[in-house]
Amino acid sequence: MVKWTSSNMPSQKGRSAVVTGTGGLGFETALALAQAGAEVIIAGRNPKKGVVAVAAILETVPAADVRFEALDLASLASVADFGRRLRNQRLSLDILINNAGVMRPPKRRMTEDGFELQLGTNYLGHFALTAHLMPLLRQSKSARVLTLSSIAARQGAIDFNDLNAEVNYRPMPVYAQSKLACLMFALELQRRSEAAGWGVTSLASHPGLSRTNLLYNSAGRWSSVGILRSLLGFMFQPVAHGAWPTLFAATSPLAQPGNYIGPERMSETRGYPTLAKMPAPALDQADAKRLWELSETLTGVRFW
């Protein structure tokens, strides 16, 4: 692939985007899309951070069409309410970027609906969000759904016998499971869109190692691994560069349906966007189908 950066992004004028997450990768993604002319809706659970993010974008791009909407991915009721609001406000949506996440709480925590926090926020919340926004996405002439995974997905495994980590909670393996689930969702969404004629393109990306809010503000910050990562933060690429794979997948004509995009250098930890190596479990279509059907049951949503 070419040495692509956000400066290579085609004009997004006339296109609309929802980006989950108010800081880090979410902010940089929203900023770049606004700079390219897109209408951007930043969705997050903290209104104060949302106001700050919108103000920062407007300071850089005074003419930006950007606003904040409240969305708590750890609450299925909040996700459903967000979907209803957007369906009442607009007729279509062109880009959905499933970005926000939680990383490695040292102790097991739960969402409002009783799911393990990482599974519920990183994966199930975005699964439900995509379903609620699918009617809008299907009205777009060229909708894309971009779901963020992680290089941690390489170590991930879907434990169907303990998906909610009730028996065995270990922060990193559970985080890796949630990010593998995100990748499997992106691939299965593409297969189902093609089979049903939804006209929605699904892709996945990962940011490599970037100095994101997850690095400094995650619930696991004061764990030994969190402290190490904070101290060695200088080794991580700038967060704006970490957003490049997402922006490439969401906007570039070179990105193809079902692609998984990550950085090109140093075992996909940094660099320009390129095709990422797909973890073997992500290619198991039987497990992807099983996970999808289980996720519909757990979240109470259906795609149409």
Q: Which of 176, 175, 180 is nearest to 287 (CA)?
A: 180
- Do 278 and 261 form a contact (C-beta atoms < 8 A)? no
- Residue 71 included in any domain: yes
Residue 220 has what pLDDT? 46
- pLDDT tens-digit readout, 191-222: 999 999 999 999 999 999 876 655 434 444 54
Whether the per-residue pLDDT at 81 is higher than 80: the answer is: yes
Whether the per-residue pLDDT at 227 is higher than 90: the answer is: no
Q: Which of 101, 111, 104 is nearest to 220 (CA)?
A: 104
Whether the per-residue pLDDT at 3 is higher than 60: the answer is: yes
- Residue 102 included in any domain: yes
Number of Cβ atoms within 10 Å of the Cβ of 35: 17
Predicted TM-score (pTM) of the model is: 0.92
Residue 225 has what pLDDT? 45
Residue 236 has what pLDDT? 77
Q: Tokens in use for 21?
A: 């997450």
Give the CATH number of the domain where residue 48 resides.
3.40.50.720
- Residue 182 included in any domain: yes
- Do 73 and 79 form a contact (C-beta atoms < 8 A)? yes
- Residue 1 included in any domain: no
Residue 268 has what pLDDT? 82
| Residues labelled catalytic | 175
Average pLDDT score, the chain: 92
Helix, strand, coil % over all residues of the chain, rounded to 5: 45, 15, 35
Whether the per-residue pLDDT at 224 is higher than 60: the answer is: no
Residue 233 has what pLDDT? 55
What are residue 294's phi and psi, to 5 degrees? -65, -40
Whether the per-residue pLDDT at 283 is higher than 70: the answer is: yes
- Residue 218 included in any domain: yes
- Residue 304 included in any domain: no
Domain count within the chain? 1
- Residue 5 included in any domain: no
Whether the per-residue pLDDT at 188 is higher than 60: the answer is: yes
- Residue 3 included in any domain: no
How many percent of the chain have pLDDT more than 90? 87
Residue 230 has what pLDDT? 55
- pLDDT tens-digit readout, 127-178: 999 999 999 999 999 999 999 999 999 999 999 999 999 999 999 999 999 9
Q: Tokens in use for 12?
A: 């997004």
- Do 4 and 255 form a contact (C-beta atoms < 8 A)? no
Chain centroid to CA 43: 12
Owning domain of residue 242: 12-299
Average pLDDT over residues 284-289: 98
Average pLDDT over residues 9-19: 98
